[in-house]
């Protein structure tokens, strides 16, 4: 079952459109060259009707055939071979001189080699020879003159130059269009990749505070711990919780509570290094992971953070909100050799801080082992 033919030029295969445009112009010029030569040699009367059919009507007929074909490109390749076959007949029939025979050959040769590579040249030679043999069988002996007049030679040069320039321009424009298409596709691919990165980052970020969320904890903390294990460096985990946060929500409303959470998140971001990890675990609970920080330094940083939050005033409407926080600390390797163990130890220390009266920093009770 063949495909339905296209009725619109925009749907016609680009090779068919390009060759139809080139044939429409250059076949007319080639007909002018052949007609001028035949006129000068007194043989125009023998073939003027065929001249019109070959160089004016023929390009339109084969164009319609190719554009309606189920396989337009293959049909166009057959049309190019047919060009060479017909030119072979003309060469013998009218005894065309070298210049005209050469320009007819080159006109088809360029097309076939572009579309079919080196095999196109061999195919062209075959079909031209076949056309010449048929012409010889029908019209032998031809009246052959190898030379052309100056006017015909100059016209051959002009037409051949124009043909090659136009063909090269078509190639340039097509290559340029392909290049622009690839650039656009690359831009779209880059945009998709950037969107994927943003979506991935959004999936790992808490939308309220901008900190990493609980989903990112396992992977990020495990990677940080692995680096510290390899470098034989300590890693401290701080579990942080806002004291009496429910009272803030109940008294001032959840938007006020959100403002306090955001204020603590900003404070955490101002107290961390690029290598540290700040995570909102959920609700009013946060976690800091501090690579290459011993427990004594971690306690100092936690105390500084606790004091800064206690002094912080959060403006919300007409109210000024203040709060305190409690912090539990666990450190690798003394309090755990895995991310899960460290988080559990820090959580236990946080619970101890709450029991001890809140607004304080407590390190895990287990004895810290030295990093060996």
Question: Quick check: is 110 in a domain?
Answer: yes
Q: Are residues 174 and 255 in the same domain?
A: no
Q: Are residues 30 and 148 in the same domain?
A: yes
Question: Quick check: is 77 in a domain?
Answer: yes
Instruction: Taking residues 255-278, report their average pLDDT.
Output: 92
Q: Is residue 143 classed as helix, strand or coil in its secondary structure?
A: coil
The whole-number pLDDT of residue 104 equals 86
> Rounded distance, CA 109 to CA 89, Å?
16
Share of the chain above pLDDT 90, in %: 42
Q: Are residues 263 and 222 in the same domain?
A: yes
Q: In this structure, is the dihedral angle defined by the CA atoms of residues 361, 362, 367 and 369, taken in order, positive or negative?
A: negative
Q: Is residue 216 classed as helix, strand or coil in its secondary structure?
A: helix
Cα–Cα distances in Å, from 114 out to 24, 157, 231, 313? Answer: 19, 21, 61, 76
- Please give the residue that has the higher pLDDT: either 203 or 70: 70
> SS3 for 313-339, per residue?
CEEECCEEECCCEEEEEEEECCCCCCH
The Cβ-side half-sphere exposure at 78, using a 13 Å CA radius, reads: 11
Q: Is the pLDDT of residue 7 over 60?
A: no
Q: Is residue 252 classed as helix, strand or coil in its secondary structure?
A: helix
Q: Is the pLDDT of residue 117 over 90?
A: no
Interacting residues of 182 by C-beta distance below 8 A, sequence separation 6+: none
Q: Are residues 174 and 219 in the same domain?
A: no
Q: What is the CATH number of the domain that holds 340?
A: 3.30.70.270
Instruction: Taking residues 267-295, report their average pLDDT.
Output: 92
Is residue 215 within 8 A of residue 281, CB to CB? The reply is no
Examine residue 333 and say whether the peptide bond preceding it is cis (omega within 30 degrees of 0): yes
Q: Are residues 166 and 251 in the same domain?
A: no
Confidence of residue 372 (pLDDT cuts 50, 70, 90): very low
Interacting residues of 146 by C-beta distance below 8 A, sequence separation 6+: 97, 98
Q: Is the pLDDT of residue 4 over 60?
A: no
In which residue are the tokens 């290559």 written?
A: 175
Question: Quick check: is 198 in a domain?
Answer: no
Q: Is residue 288 classed as helix, strand or coil in its secondary structure?
A: strand
Q: Domain range for residue 218?
A: 212-363
For residue 204, how far is the Cα from the chain centroid?
Answer: 25
> Rounded distance, CA 205 to CA 166, Å?
57
Give the tens place of pLDDT for each residue, 43-85: 877 778 889 999 999 999 999 999 999 999 899 999 999 999 9
Q: Is the pLDDT of residue 132 over 50?
A: yes
* 370 CB-contact burial (10 Å; exposed 0-12 / middle 13-18 / buried 19+): exposed
Q: Give me the numbers of helices (H) and strands (E) for the chain, helices first please.
A: 12, 8
pTM summary value: 0.51
Q: Is the pLDDT of residue 6 over 60?
A: no
Q: Are residues 216 and 174 in the same domain?
A: no
Q: Are residues 113 and 260 in the same domain?
A: no
The Cβ-side half-sphere exposure at 16, using a 13 Å CA radius, reads: 25
Q: Are residues 171 and 318 in the same domain?
A: no
> Rounded distance, CA 240 to CA 283, Å?
11
Instruction: Taking residues 282-303, report their average pLDDT.
Output: 94
Is residue 371 within 8 A of residue 234, CB to CB? The reply is yes
Q: Is the pLDDT of residue 371 over 90?
A: no
Domain count within the chain: 2
In which residue are the tokens 């164009």 written?
A: 63
């Amino acid at each position: 079952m063949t495909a339905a033919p296209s009725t619109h030029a925009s749907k016609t295969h680009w090779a068919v459109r390009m060759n139809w445009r080139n044939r429409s112009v250059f076949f007319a010029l080639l007909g002018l060259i052949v007609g001028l030569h035949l006129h000068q040699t007194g043989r125009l009367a023998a073939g003027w009707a065929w001249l019109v059919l070959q160089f004016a009507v023929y390009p339109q007929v084969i164009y319609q055939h190719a554009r309606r074909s189920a396989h337009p490109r293959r049909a166009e390749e057959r049309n190019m071979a047919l060009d060479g076959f017909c030119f072979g007949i003309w060469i013998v029939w009218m005894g065309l001189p070298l210049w005209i025979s050469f320009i007819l050959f080159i006109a088809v040769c360029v097309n076939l080699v572009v579309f079919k590579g080196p095999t196109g040249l061999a195919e062209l030679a075959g079909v031209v020879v076949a056309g010449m043999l048929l012409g010889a069988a029908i019209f032998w002996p031809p009246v052959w003159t190898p030379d052309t007049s100056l006017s015909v030679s100059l016209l051959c040069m002009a037409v051949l130059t124009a043909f090659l320039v136009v063909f090269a321009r078509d190639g340039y424009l097509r290559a340029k269009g392909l290049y622009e298409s690839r650039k656009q596709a690359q831009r779209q691919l880059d945009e998709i990749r950037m969107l994927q990165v943003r979506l991935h980052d959004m999936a790992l970020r808490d939308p309220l505070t901008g900190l990493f969320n609980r989903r990112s904890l396992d992977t990020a903390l495990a990677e940080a711990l692995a680096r510290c294990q390899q470098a034989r460096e300590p890693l401290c985990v701080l579990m942080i919780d806002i004291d009496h946060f429910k009272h803030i929500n109940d008294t001032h409303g959840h938007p006020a509570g959100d403002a306090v959470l955001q204020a603590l998140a900003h404070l955490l971001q101002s107290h961390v290094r690029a290598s540290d990890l700040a995570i909102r675990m959920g609700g009013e609970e946060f976690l800091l992971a501090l690579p290459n920080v011993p427990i004594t330094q971690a306690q100092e940083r936690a105390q500084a953070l606790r004091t800064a939050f206690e002094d912080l005033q959060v403006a919300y409407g007409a109210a000024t909100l203040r709060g305190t926080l409690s912090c539990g600390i666990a450190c690798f390797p003394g309090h755990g050799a895995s991310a899960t163990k460290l988080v559990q130890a820090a959580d236990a220390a946080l619970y101890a801080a709450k029991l001890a009266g809140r607004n304080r920093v407590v390190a895990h009770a287990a004895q810290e082992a030295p990093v060996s």
